[in-house]
Amino acid sequence: MNRKSEPSGPLRDEVAELDASATDVRVIELGSPQPYLDVAARAVEAARIANDLYAEAIAPLGGRFVAFGCVPLPHAEEAIAEAARCLDELSFAGLGVGCSVAGRPLDDPAFAPLWAELDRRGAIVSLHPVATGIAMGGDYFIDAIAGMTAEDTVAGLRLVLSGLTDRHPRIRFIVPHLGGAIPFLWERVEYQLDRARERGVVALPSGAAQAGLRRLFYDTVNGSAAALRCACDNLGTERILFGTDHPILDLARSLEYVEGAGLDTRIVADILDRNGQALLDLPVPRRP
């Protein structure tokens, strides 16, 4: 990719940050809010505006940025149409969705047609909290501290425990913030499910939940070296992708925390480069 041409557009200032950290590509997506509106036409309009702006922003930057598009849920048919536009016409790398949709979980049967289509395409789907909050979490910035990651945790668990990921195994789901509390609750997941099986509440075979969770992808947005090591131990290292949650965490700090986590240098290289490169089918970077 040609780095000598003068970048233009709304992301031009970020190119210098990428160059300073020897970062080849940044993925951008709509986080929160998502274009989830009651009236289908308004949701479609909002999604199209956002996706067109993203396409316009990344176009002049020679591949330094790739985008995940958004879709106008809870309207499944309209979401399928906009997903096709994002992936086929705008050449986006994947799609971003909220951890929930207007108070409904991602495994809601109404969204089944969308998942079926994205499974057919083998699409990448990145999750992001949508600020639904947690009980008594409105004070002291608790929703930002714990509410967002609670959404990650619940969404990731529901994808697997509902059977959605088994029904649609070709979708590559990315759960942010190291999966929220999933790595920390690793043993508790199967312990509680064993109790549920004894009561006939769940039919999922023993060990299936952990196996399903290991098939998801997770980004490194967290900042704690101990948390990253916990995620690597429990989730495996091949599904962990470097993330920054830019501009919440800056790129340099995000890199330093991964590089300083005490992991094997090969694992660090996988997380920072190879895992994301393989998932997004990016060209091998041409280092100077």
pLDDT in tens, 222-238: 999 999 999 999 999 99
CATH of the domain at 116: 3.20.20.140
| pLDDT given for residue 287 in this prediction | 43
- Ranges of beta strands (E only) in the chain are 26-29, 65-69, 94-98, 100-101, 104-105, 124-128, 172-175, 217-219, 240-241
Residue 272 included in any domain: no
Give the residues across from 26 on adjacent strands.
65
Residue 286 included in any domain: no
Residue 235 included in any domain: no
> Domain containing 143: what range?
23-219
User: Dihedral sign, CA of 246, 250, 252, 257?
Assistant: negative
| pLDDT given for residue 284 in this prediction | 64
| pLDDT given for residue 91 in this prediction | 96
Residue 10 included in any domain: no
Distance of CA 164 to the CA centre of its chain: 16
pLDDT in tens, 56-115: 999 999 899 999 999 999 999 999 999 999 999 999 999 999 999 999 999 999 999 999
Residue 83 included in any domain: yes
Count of domains for the chain: 1
Residue 45 included in any domain: yes
Residue 169 included in any domain: yes
Residue type at 57 in one-letter notation: A
In angstroms, the Cα distances linking 60 to 8, 54, 75, 83, 151 are: 6, 11, 32, 23, 35
pLDDT in tens, 152-185: 999 999 999 999 999 999 999 999 999 999 999 9
Residue 242 included in any domain: no
